[in-house]
Amino acid sequence: MSTRVSADPEEMTVLVAEVVSAGWLVFRKGTEAAGFWGGSTLPAWRGQGIYRAPAPGSPPRAIQVDDSAARRSCAGTAVTAATPYVRSPP
């Protein structure tokens, strides 16, 4: 991860809130979009706005988040859903 951030520090912001939460926001150059990946928050700290810190510069207009219904915490509007499948060949 540190190699990727060092290679292009404007592409990614690594978010860490004390030792209770971590995740990264990946900006897509030339667009107003970003993806939020790898988020994890300790149970006692969930629902307290840990990931609502502002992004540096202009905030993205669209953020892609792959989140389960049990963990849904984004304040945005869902526009589609992803369904995971596990393939078990015979």
Which amino acid is it at 50? I
pTM of the model: 0.50
Q: Which one, of 63, 19, 70, lies nearest residue 37 by Cα?
A: 63
Instruction: Give a yes or no: residue 17 inside a domain.
Output: yes
Q: pLDDT tens-digit profile of 2-29? A: 787 788 878 877 777 567 877 788 888 8
Q: Which domain holds residue 29?
A: 2-69
Average per-residue pLDDT in the chain? 75
- In this structure, which long-range contacts are made by residues 69-75, counting pairs with CB atoms below 8 Å and at least 24 apart in sequence? 71/46, 73/46, 73/47
pLDDT at residue 54 tops 70: no
Q: Quick one: average pLDDT of 55-63?
A: 71
Instruction: Give a yes or no: residue 76 inside a domain.
Output: no
Domain count, the chain: 1
Instruction: Give a yes or no: residue 56 inside a domain.
Output: yes
Residue 36 has a pLDDT of: 79
Q: Which one, of 87, 62, 58, lies nearest residue 77 by Cα?
A: 62
Both tokens assigned to 53: 């810190």
